[in-house]
Amino acid sequence: MAMRLKIVQVGEPVLRQAARALSMEEIRHPEMERLIDMMRDTMRDAPGVGLAAPQIGLPIQLAVIEDRAEYSRDVAAERLAERERRPIDFHVLINPRIVERSGEQAEFYEGCLSVAGFSALVKRSSAVTVEYLDQHGSACRVEARGWYARILQHEIDHLNGQLYIDRMEPRSFTNMENLGRHWQNLSVEQVRAALGLSR
């Protein structure tokens, strides 16, 4: 049976604190597997492409990520290509750190389960290299581009007490209804032009 956790919203102090690293003993504790399962179920139920432990009130360096194909089935092929968005299998990040970032940046609308109902343009590195431990405590390294790189940066920000609203283009901030009505199918250049923003 799926177990769902409460996702805390912006204003909760835990979202603004740096999360602490997990020890190998904590990672290998049987309760960790249960927590990861509940985080996965909560993320899928939302639905979202990532969930960090601070978002469920726990100040620990743990996040889960999954971008299922069905999440982007209503997105135009042109927008998917622009965002370099492809499905990502479920996986766990423990004590992650970004060890390399591309100088090149990309800007797209981004949302957050802890800032429910809103979205804004956010600039992020187009590619990152991340080192982390998986749910078994094994050391992993991933080189990610496009949407996957964005998700990684977003979740690691959560573990450092940051939200996308700290990085957003303020004039682009919108509720989800208006994102769908006005902005979602435009290129970033068209959005910026409509909002009177220079490149």
Q: What is the mean pLDDT of the chain?
A: 96
pLDDT for the residue numbered 2 = 63
- What backbone torsions phi and psi does residue 32 show, to the nearest 5 degrees? -65, -40
The catalytic position among 66, 107, 110, 155 is: 155
Query: To the nearest whole percent, how much of the chain has pLDDT over 90?
Result: 91
pLDDT beyond 70 at 1: no
> Global pTM?
0.95
At 23-59, the pLDDT tens digits run 999 999 999 999 999 999 999 999 999 999 999 999 9
pLDDT for the residue numbered 4 = 83
DSSP per-residue codes, 36-70 = HHHHHHHHHHTT-SEEEGGGGT--BSEEEEEE-GG
At 52-94, the pLDDT tens digits run 999 999 999 999 999 999 999 888 888 899 999 999 999 999 9
pLDDT for the residue numbered 198 = 76
Q: Which of 72-81, 123-132, 167-176 has the lowest mean pLDDT?
A: 72-81
3-state secondary structure of 2: coil
What number of CA atoms fall less than 13 Å from residue 104's CA on the CB side?
6
Any catalytic annotation for residue 155?
A: yes
pLDDT for the residue numbered 75 = 85
The CATH code of domain 13-104+126-162 reads 3.90.45.10
For the chain, the C-alpha Rg in angstroms (whole number) is 17
